[in-house]
Structure 1
Amino acid sequence: MTAGEPEVEKKEPITTDPSSDSQPSYDDVEAAHGTVEHISPLKRSLQGRHMQMIAIGGAIGAGLFVGTGEALYEGGPGSLLLGYLIVGGMLLLTIQALGELAVLYPVNGAFFTYCVRFIDPSWGFAVGWDYAIGWLIILPFEITAAGITIQFWRDDINIGVWVTVFLVALSAIQIFGVRGYGEVEFVLSIIKVTALLGFIILGIVIDCGGAPKGSYIGTHYWFDPGAFTTFEGFCAVFTTAAFAFGGTEMTGLAAAEAANPAKSIPKATKQVFWRITLFYVVGTFIVGLIVPANADYLLGSSGANTKASPFVVSIQNAGIKGLPSVMNAVITISVISVANSATFGSSRTIQALAANGMAPKFLAYVDNAGRPLYCILLQIAFGFLAFINEASSTGDTIFTWLLALSGVSNFFIWGSVCFAHIRFRQAWKYHGHSVDELAYAAPFGEIGSWIGLSLNVLCLIAEFYVSIAPLNATDFFENYLSVPLILALYFCWKIYSANSKDPKINNRGWKILLNIEEIDVMSHIRDGALDVDLPPRKVYATWGEWFKAAPMRMVRSLI
Structure 2
Amino acid sequence: MDEHKADFVADEKSSPSDEYRQPVSGDVYVHDHGAETELRRLLSTRHLTMIALGSSIGMGLWLGSGTSLTSGGPAGIFLGYFLAGSMIWSVSHSIGEMAVMYPLPSAFVQWTGKFICPSASFALGWAYWFSYCITIANELQGVCTVLSFWTDAVPIAAWITIFWLVIIGVNVGAVSFFGEIEVICSTIKFGWIFVVIISNIVISAGGAPNHDAVGFRYWNAEPFTNGFKGFLSVMPTCIFAMAGSENSGLVAAETGNPRKAVPRAIGSIWLRLSLFYLLGSLMVTITVSPTNPDLFGGEGTNASPFVIAYRDAGIEPMAHLMNAVIFISVLSTGSISGYGGSRTTMGLAHLNMAPKQFKTADKTGRPWYGLVVTLLLGGGLAYLNVNNGAADVFGWFSNLTSLFTLFGWGMICLSHIRFRRAWKVQGRSPSELPWKSWTWPWAAWWGLSWCIILIIVEFYLAVWPLGEPSSARTFFANYVSVIVIVVIYLGARLYYRGPWYVDLSKVDLDDQRRFYVDHDEEKAPKKGFKRVASKTIGFVFN
TM-score normalised by L of structure 1:
0.85
For residues 473 and 263 of structure 2, the distance between their equivalents in structure 1, rounded to whole angstroms, comes to 43
Contact 1:97 1:417 (8 Å CA) reproduced: yes
Q: CA distance change for structure 1 residues 418 and 370 in 2, over 3 Å: closer, same or farther?
A: same
Q: 1:429 to 1:321 in 2, by over 3 A?
A: same
Taking a change above 3 Å as real, the CA distance of residues 12 and 237 of structure 1, as seen in their structure-2 partners, is farther
Shift of 1:143: 2.0
The counterpart of 2:505, out of the listed 517, 521, 534, is 517
Hey, what's the Cα distance between the residues in 2 that align with 1:325 and 1:156? 18
| Matching residue within 12, 17, 22 for 2:9 | 17
User: Quick one: which amino acid aligns to residue 220 of structure 1?
Assistant: R
Q: Quick check: 1:526 aligned with 2:521?
A: no
Name the aligned partner's letter for residue 494 of structure 1. Answer: R
The alignment yields a C-alpha RMSD, in angstroms, of 2.9
CA contact (8 A) 2:132 2:341 kept: yes
The question of 1:481 aligning with 2:469 is answered no
1:347 aligned to 2:342? yes
Does 1:136 pair with 2:133?
A: yes
Instruction: List per-residue Cα deviations over 1:405-455 (Å, max 9, x = no partner).
Output: 434111111111001000000000111111111121112112221111112
Cα distance change, pair 222–400 in 1 and its aligned pair in 2 (3 A)? closer
Q: 1:86 to 1:125 in 2, by over 3 A?
A: same
CA contact (8 A) 2:345 2:370 kept: yes
For 1:215 and 1:294, the matched residues in 2 are separated by 17
- Which residue type is aligned with residue 371 of structure 1? R
Letter paired with 2:33: V
Q: Does 1:189 align with 2:186?
A: yes
> What's the CA shift string for 1:521-556, capped at 9, x where partnerless?
111111213853489xxxxxxxxxxxxxxxx9xx95
Separation in structure 2 between the aligned mates of residue 334 and residue 88 of structure 1, nearest angstrom: 19
1:395-410 → structure 2 map (5 Å cutoff): 405-410=400-405
Partner residue of 1:292? 289
* Preserved contact between residue 237 and residue 398 of structure 2 (Cα < 8 Å): no
Name the CA shift for 1:85/1:375 in 2 (closer, same or farther; >3 Å).
same
Instruction: Report the CA distance shift for 1:26/1:342 in structure 2 as closer, same or farther (over 3 A).
Output: farther
1:199 maps to 2:196: yes
Query: How far off its partner does 1:93 sit?
Result: 0.8
Cα–Cα, structure 1 residues 383 and 82, in superposed 2: closer, same or farther, change >3 Å? closer
Q: Where does residue 496 of structure 2 map in the other structure?
A: 497
Shift of 1:475: 2.2
Distance in 1 (alpha carbons) for counterparts of 2:388 and 2:283: 38
Instruction: Call closer, same or farther: CA 1:155–1:422 in 2, change over 3 Å.
Output: same
**Cα distance between partner residues in 1 of 2:195 and 2:173:** 32
Match of 2:451 among 448, 452, 456: 456
Any conservation in 1 of the 2:296–2:391 contact (CA below 8 Å)? no
Q: Taking structure 1 as reference, are residues 386 and 487 closer, same or farther at Cα in structure 2, changes over 3 Å only?
A: closer
Measured after TM superposition, the shift of residue 387 of structure 1 is 6.5
| 2:123 corresponds to which of 126, 130, 135 | 126
Q: How far apart, in 2, do the equivalents of 1:17 and 1:27 lie? A: 6
Post-superposition Cα deviations, 1:115-140, rounded to whole Å, max 9, x if no partner, equal 00001110011011100011122213
Q: In the alignment, what sits opposite 1:546?
A: none
Offset of residue 175 of structure 1: 3.2
Asked if 1:89 corresponds to 2:86, the answer is yes
Once the two structures are superposed, what CA deviation does each residue of 1:303-334 show, in whole Å capped at 9, x if it has no partner? Answer: xx974311100110000021111111111101
Structure-2 separation of matches of 1:514 and 1:84: 35
CA distance in 2: counterparts of 1:490 and 1:293, whole angstroms:
40
Matched, 1:414 2:385: no
TM-aligned CA deviation for residue 347 of structure 1: 0.2
Amino acid at match of 2:505: E
How far apart, CA to CA, are the structure 1 residues paired with 2:464 and 2:162?
Answer: 42
Q: Which residue of 2 aligns with 1:6?
A: none
1:557 is displaced (CA, Å) by 9.1
**Is the contact made by 1:66 and 1:301 (CA closer than 8 Å) also made in structure 2?**
no
Q: Given residue 423 of structure 2, which amino acid in structure 1 is its aligned partner?
A: W
Contact 1:419-1:449 at 8 Å conserved across structures: yes
CA contact (8 A) 1:26 1:524 kept: no
Q: 1:490-549 deviations in whole A, cap 9, x for unaligned?
A: 111111223xxxxxxxxx2xx2211221222111111213853489xxxxxxxxxxxxxx
Please say if residues 70 and 225 of structure 2, whose CA atoms lie closer than 8 Å, have aligned partners that are also in contact: no
1:497 and 1:437 map into 2 onto residues whose CA distance is 33
Q: Identify the residue that residue 531 of structure 2 maps to in structure 1.
A: none
In 1, distance between residues paired with 2:144 and 2:408? 29
- Gap change, CA 1:394 and 1:27, over 3 Å in 2: farther
Distance 1:360-1:160 versus aligned 2 partners, 3 A rule: same
CA distance in 2, matches of 1:239, 1:396: 14
Could you tell me the percent identity over the aligned residues? 34
8 Å CA contact 1:13, 1:437 repeated in 2:
no
2:310 aligned partner = 315
- For the residue of structure 1 that corresponds to 2:295, the secondary structure is helix
Which runs of 5 or more structure 2 residues have no equivalent in the other structure? 13-17, 524-534
What's the CA shift for 1:388? 2.8
1:291 and 1:310 in contact (8 A); partners too: yes
1:439 maps to 2:470: no
Deviations 1:242-269 (A, max 9, x none): 0100100000111100111110100001
Please list, as runs of the form range in 1=range in 2, the aligned pairs for 1:422-437 lying within 5 A after superposition. 422-437=417-432
Q: Would you say the 8 A contact 2:11–2:31 is kept in 1?
A: no
Aligned to 2:371: 376
Report 1:144-293 matches (<5 A). 144-227=141-224, 229-293=226-290
Cα offset for 1:232?
0.6
Could you tell me how far apart the structure 2 residues matched to 1:176 and 1:89 are? 35
For residue 278 of structure 1, report the CA deviation from its aligned partner.
Answer: 1.3
- Deviation of 1:30 after TM superposition, in Å, equals 5.7
Q: 1:56 to 1:396 in 2, by over 3 A?
A: closer
Question: Within 5 A, what are the aligned runs for 1:9-88?
Answer: 16-18=8-10, 22=23, 29=33, 41-88=38-85
In structure 1, the residue corresponding to 2:323 is in which secondary structure?
Answer: helix
Q: Secondary structure at the match of 1:481?
A: helix
1:114 aligns with 2:123: no
- The offset of 1:19, in angstroms, is 6.5
- Residues 433/389 of structure 1: CA separation in 2 closer, same or farther (3 Å cut): closer
Contact 1:62 1:334 in 2 (8 A): yes
Paired residues in the alignment total: 512
2:527 corresponds in structure 1 to: none
SS of the residue aligned with 1:296?
coil
